[in-house]
Amino acid sequence: AQSVAQPEDQVNVAEGNPLTVKCTYSVSGNPYLFWYVQYPNRGLQFLLKYITGDNLVKGSYGFEAEFNKSQTSFHLKKPSALVSDSALYFCAVRDWLTGRRALTFGSGTRLQVQP
């Protein structure tokens, strides 16, 4: 079975500081990993994904994520946080070995950026 863990319910960071939102995963085969962001009462917006290749993936709005196979992690990062980055962030995984096309999501991490 595939699973995703987001160990922090909330992350607080000051504007201008770097931010990290953590994600670890468990799969049987090769992981396909995704990050989404959700603003209040809205759908999820795609940020970035890791399929294969370079372990550092760049995405929308200045976000990037680092894939670490040995630690089974896919942490989301941004060098300088903005107040407008405050939102709910979801990590998700898909594992072709299970034959499951739908994504498995973590429980989400709320990012709060203070001005």
Q: Would you say 87 or 108 has its CB closer to other proteins?
A: 108
Closest listed residue to residue 11, CA positions, set 105, 66, 78, 98: 78
63 is an interface residue for other proteins by CB under 8 A: no
40 is an interface residue for other proteins by CB under 8 A: no
Query: Do 49 and 33 touch, CB atoms closer than 8 A?
Result: yes
60 is an interface residue for other proteins by CB under 8 A: no
Cα–Cα distances in angstroms (integers) from residue 62 to residues 26, 77, 86, 112, in the given order? 27, 9, 14, 17
Which residue from 10, 17, 28, 46 is in contact with other proteins, where contact means CB under 8 A? 46
Q: Name the one residue in this structure whose structure tokens are 């990590």.
A: 91
Footprint of other proteins on this chain (CB under 8 A)?
A: 9, 32, 34, 36, 41-46, 49, 51, 90, 94-96, 101-103, 105-108
